[in-house]
Amino acid sequence: MKFPNHLNHIAIIMDGNRRWSQLRGLPSLAGHRAGLKSMHSTGEYLGNCGLKYLTVYGFSTENWNRAPDEVEGLFQLFTETKGVSGFAIWDASMNSPKMYSWQ
Q: Distance between CA atoms of 52 and 10, rounded to whole angstroms?
A: 9
User: Which residues touch 84 (CB under 8 Å, ≥6 apart)?
Assistant: 78
Residue 63: active-site member = yes
Q: Distance between CA atoms of 56 and 98, rounded to whole angstroms?
A: 19
Among residues 8, 48, 63, 69, which one is catalytic?
63
Residue 15: active-site member = yes
Among residues 8, 15, 69, 91, which one is catalytic?
15
Which amino acids are annotated catalytic?
A: 15, 63
